[in-house]
Structure 1
Amino acid sequence: MTNPQTFIDHMIPTVLGTVRVRITGSGAPILCWPSLLMTGDMWIAQAECLAERHTVIMVDPPGHGRSQPLTAMFGFDDCAQCIVDILDALHIDVTHVLGNSWGGMIGGTFAALHPDRIGRAVLMNCTGSAAGLGQRIEYGALLRLAGLIGGFRGPLVRSAVKAFLGPTTFRTRPDVVDYVRASVRSVDLSSVSFAIRSVVPARVDQLELLATISAPVLVVAGIEDATFAVPETRAMANAIPGSTFQVLDGVAHLAALENPPLINALVADFLTG
């Protein structure tokens, strides 16, 4: 098992600005891309589990954490190219991908657009569909409110905690609730607003693209996920040929944070085939 002192940080130029990655372990690479409003550190528990067999690459996604702030919106193909840029800088030909929410969507995009660079993919708490009208209205109003009141994060924090966590975590995992609140409070609002707009209201339907994936894929849904309900995530899995779909009890939108032992075992089993 590893610990935070064994991580090596890299600042890597990409199509979406300079991105910070943290690397630990050795063996077949696995690149980990988190949800909106989270940094690569949400994968610490997975890194500690997987590092004995894998080189774990935890990404602070564009505009988040120590990565360069965003100044414009982007497309999912840009995010897939960002992964390619990271791999090229690290001299890695092929990687597994572990993604949550935004990371799960981008993992699917990457697998479809760059089939020669993907091993296996675990896509959690995500969707292949465009944002619905209600979600577009909700996030648009939230961003306008945050801007009007001088960058105050209160509405964003409350909305994110409600969207990301379910009743089991609120009842039994106060440390996870505190972690999510602290993570959202720490964001650069002007930067992440570009990411939120790109990933939520401007998100395009990817189901047709996902149908071209040839890599082994595991799609995971949380039974308590209020952001992407099980039927929406199942539709993503159904679009990916030969994919495996699993619904997890007791977790919501951030399964890797909410129940690390469960996710660690699930990912390790899938990566070993």
Structure 2
Amino acid sequence: MTQDNTTVTEVSVSEAILEDTHLGHPMDTRTITRTIPTSVGNLAVHVTGSGPPTFLWHSLFVDSTTWAPLRSHLVAHRLLISIDGPGHGASTAVQRRFTLQECAAAAVAVLDVLDVTEPVDWVGNAWGGHVGLVAAAHSPDRCRTVITIGTPTQALTRRERARIVPMVWAYRLAGPVPPLTTAVMNVLLGKDLSRTHPQQFQAVSRTFRQSPQRGMHEAMQSVMLHREGLDPLLPRIGAPTLMIVPRADTMISLEQARAAAATMPHAAATTVDGAGHVTPLIADPGTLADVITEFWRDPGRTVITASADLP
């Protein structure tokens, strides 16, 4: 394994646009970025803050800049480790299909390189939630808690595949053309965010349009089309887990999340406002941060309370 590269960076343009400006404190703009070789390519890892370690893995189609609004609410008391997944952001593209297990192993390798031995609080958005659940199942000593945001645990249904396969092939042939980009953004952000948060919408859209086409296509096949259902793994996850569902997310319902959580030893599901996987991170990061930090303060109590709220 080659030696990783380390740089100190300022906030990117996308992060600055996504940043929530209504905060009582400025965002910490000093971030250490390291390029760490893994089995799924050289991954860009961004480290900021200090305190208990938190691992952030983003959704498919975007990159770690989507954490910027939420990060500002957490950085004062946390060591935040955010990663650009393979084929996304500043990470290299994998020229083959890869698995969630490989992604989870890469995350553990990153923690080893960073010399983070304390179990982390994992926060994963969609794809990142999948990786977190797999990591918690296979490396239980590395995860103190797991939070998923907009993360369906089942594989695609036939109906979903019938709708998504043409989109993947269209992307392979034509790249991020406007109709395809619009369809992807509607799933990630909903149809209203372009009106209510136009700058943030464009910043998220830009991360998709600027991704290397070959690497993004491989990622789309690997973690969307050919992703296996995670339900068999769930009973093995002992870490307290909170599944957060955006209310209008078209890919997962609160009922599905509650059913998945019921198969786990210490898990619950809850909901926040949002029309897509990424919307809660952009539209109302303060509320999302409150849900997350309350869970971290007392994971067991949060799980019991959320479970008691079942109808």
Q: What pairs with 1:169-180 in structure 2 (closer than 5 Å)?
A: 169-180=193-204
Name the counterpart of 2:161. 136
CA distance in 2, matches of 1:250, 1:158: 17
Name the counterpart of 2:65. 41
Name the counterpart of 2:283. 258
Please identify, of 152-161 and 181-190, the stretch whose mean Cα deviation from structure 2 is larger: 152-161
CA distance in 2, matches of 1:137, 1:250: 25
Please identify, of 2-11 and 17-26, the stretch whose mean Cα deviation from structure 2 is larger: 2-11
Which secondary structure state, in structure 1, belongs to the residue aligned with residue 141 of structure 2?
A: coil
1:29 to 53, 75, 91: 53
RMSD: 1.7
1:221–1:98: structure 2 CA closer, same or farther, 3 Å change rule?
Answer: same
Offset of residue 251 of structure 1? 4.3
Name the counterpart of 2:125. 100
1:96–1:73: structure 2 CA closer, same or farther, 3 Å change rule?
Answer: same
Which secondary structure state, in structure 2, belongs to the residue aligned with residue 239 of structure 1?
A: coil
Contact 2:254 2:270 in 1 (8 A): no
Which secondary structure state, in structure 2, belongs to the residue aligned with residue 205 of structure 1?
A: coil
Name the counterpart of 2:20. none
Please identify, of 130-139 and 98-107, the stretch whose mean Cα deviation from structure 2 is larger: 130-139
Name the counterpart of 1:89. 113
1:169–1:205: structure 2 CA closer, same or farther, 3 Å change rule?
Answer: same
1:2–1:238: structure 2 CA closer, same or farther, 3 Å change rule?
Answer: farther
1:145 to 146, 152, 170: 170
Name the counterpart of 1:210. 234
Which secondary structure state, in structure 1, belongs to the residue aligned with residue 147 of structure 2?
A: strand
CA distance in 2, matches of 1:174, 1:132: 32
Match status 1:121 vs 2:146? yes
Offset of residue 171 of structure 1? 4.6
Deviations 1:85-122 (A, max 9, x none): 11000001121100000001111111111111111111
When normalised by structure 1's length, the TM-score is 0.93
Match status 1:78 vs 2:92? no
1:2–1:91: structure 2 CA closer, same or farther, 3 Å change rule?
Answer: farther
Which secondary structure state, in structure 1, belongs to the residue aligned with residue 245 of structure 2?
A: strand
- Which residue identity lines up with residue 40 of structure 1 in the other structure? S
1:225 to 234, 249, 253: 249
Give the paired residue count.
272
Which secondary structure state, in structure 2, belongs to the residue aligned with residue 3 of structure 1?
A: coil
Match status 1:51 vs 2:75? yes
When normalised by structure 2's length, the TM-score is 0.83
Larger radius of gyration: 2
Which secondary structure state, in structure 2, belongs to the residue aligned with residue 22 of structure 1?
A: strand
CA distance in 1, matches of 2:283, 2:254: 17
Offset of residue 258 of structure 1? 2.5
Contact 2:66 2:204 in 1 (8 A): no
- Which residue identity lines up with residue 144 of structure 1 in the other structure? W
Offset of residue 195 of structure 1? 0.9
CA distance in 2, matches of 1:252, 1:162: 7
Which secondary structure state, in structure 1, belongs to the residue aligned with residue 236 of structure 2?
A: coil
Deviations 1:220-240 (A, max 9, x none): 001111232333333332232
Which secondary structure state, in structure 2, belongs to the residue aligned with residue 52 of structure 1?
A: helix
CA distance in 1, matches of 2:212, 2:81: 23
Please identify, of 174-183 and 67-76, the stretch whose mean Cα deviation from structure 2 is larger: 174-183
- Which residue identity lines up with residue 163 of structure 2 in the other structure? E
Name the counterpart of 2:19. none
